[in-house]
Amino acid sequence: MTESRKTVWLLVARGVAAVVFGVLTLLRPQMTVLALAWVFGAYALADGAVLLGAAWRHRREGRPALACAVAGALGVVAGGMTALWPGLTALALVVMAGAWAIATGCLELWVATRMRHELRHAWWWRVSAAVSVAAGVLLWLWPDAGAMAIALVLGVYALIAGGIWLAAAWREYRMHTNHRSHSWTSRPSGARVAH
């Protein structure tokens, strides 16, 4: 599988996980804190696993791969904590989800800035990072929010972030297919065409 295809699948996996999480939380905003924590934990675990896989594939790229690995590890830790802490309160969920969103967003912004010349879709990373940090700050500014408010903030954030990642995947896929078809139809310079 080419690097471009791997990138498309990474973006699709992150986008689908975020959209599923966003839809679940917005369809059932009245869910209990425990149910919300489980759904958030599953999403954080899935996103973390995808990022860890991407970091492993790009491990020779140094600091960007390390940033990806740290973001993935944060997702796995956040997801694991929600699974191991069944008596999670709304305040604890706000603190954890906010910290995860801000840390992940800052790492994404760092990668997008550091690799702006290598990443064809670096601005997608920047937009996603800004949305992530904004969601985390909003959660921290609203520490006494109930489960419904937390679900709405996290759900809207996840839908926006998922949409960004899926749009980036589509753009990457289109660029890959256009490049492949262009290289297939273009003739090498100096080649003679038989008539």
The separation between CA 171 and the C-alpha centre of its own chain, rounded to angstroms, equals 16
From CA 40, how far away is CA 5, in angstroms rounded?
28
Q: Report pTM.
A: 0.77
Q: Do residues 18 and 159 make contact, with C-beta atoms less than 8 angstroms apart? A: yes
Residue of higher predicted confidence among 164 and 63: 164
Q: What is the 3-state secondary structure (H, E, C) of 136-163?
A: HHHHHHCCCCCHHHHHHHHHHHHHHHHH
Which of the four CATH numbers 1.10.357, 1.10.3470, 3.40.50, 1.25.40 does domain 3-182 have?
A: 1.25.40
From CA 167, how far away is CA 125, in angstroms rounded?
11
Q: What does the domain layout of the chain look like in residue ranges?
A: 3-182
Q: Is the pLDDT of residue 29 over 50?
A: yes
Please count the residues of the chain.
195
Q: Is the pLDDT of residue 184 over 60?
A: no
Q: What is the pLDDT of residues 112-154, one digit of tens each?
A: 787 666 666 677 778 888 999 999 999 888 877 777 888 888 9
